[in-house]
Amino acid sequence: MFYAIVGQDVPDSLNQRLTARPAHLDRLHALQQAGHLLLAGPFPVIDSNDPGTAGFSGSLIVAEFETLTDAQTWADADPYVAAGVYAGVSVKPFKKVFPA
């Protein structure tokens, strides 16, 4: 089943994000290579693909896991959690409808 993982950044998290980003992306690449990643990306603070120093307010990852517990365990081990980028992370089951 797919799960939506939503991380909410702490204020002014850009420096922590940039530091932890390589390790964060490595985990996403591993999910993608295993065929489990549907989509992933950050939420820019401003209406721009490149928000510059405004940074990001969080991230969305939609990926396939065996169970909610597996998805939560994976999310809890994210380098952004360890680096203090995220104030909190929610994990919810996600039903993909479109595109079919």
* pLDDT tens sequence across 31-44: 999 999 999 999 99
| DSSP structure string for 70-90 | HHHHHHHT-HHHHTT-EEEEE
What stretch of H or E contains 21? helix 14-33
For 14-27, the pLDDT digits (tens) are 999 999 999 999 99
CB under 8 Å to 43, separation ≥6 — which residues?
56, 57, 58, 59, 60
Q: How far apart are CA 46 and CA 96, in angstroms?
A: 27
